[in-house]
Amino acid sequence: MYYIYITKSLKDGSLYKGFTEDLKERLKVHNQGGDDYTSRKRPWKLVWYCTFNDKKKALAFEKYLKSGSGRAFLKRHLL
């Protein structure tokens, strides 16, 4: 399974959108400071995720969520 997820920084409220094959481990890495970008804004809380069977579709959806249209979609439908 492939996951597209959104986490929220409990420090400043910012959102992070990402892709992983192991959601629990990825969240753990974010909260332990193992990623340059997310280490400055820890702790992180998982606010949404979606599973995919197809890696290409998952990556395409992640790319969409990071686009202007995708951010608008998030505001209207998910967050």
* Domains, the chain, with CATH or none: 2-78 (3.40.1440)
What is the phi/psi pair of residue 58, to 5°?
A: -60, -45
In angstroms, the Cα distances linking 52 to 24, 39, 74 are: 16, 27, 18
For the cut 80, the answer to whether the pLDDT of residue 79 exceeds it is no
Element (H, E) at 15: strand 15-20
Q: In this predicted structure, what is the pLDDT of residue 36?
A: 87
pLDDT digits (tens, 9 = 90+) for 1-44: 999 999 999 999 999 999 999 999 999 999 999 988 899 999 99
In angstroms, the Cα distances linking 36 to 29, 32, 41, 54, 60 are: 11, 11, 10, 28, 23
10 vs 1: CA distance, rounded Å = 27
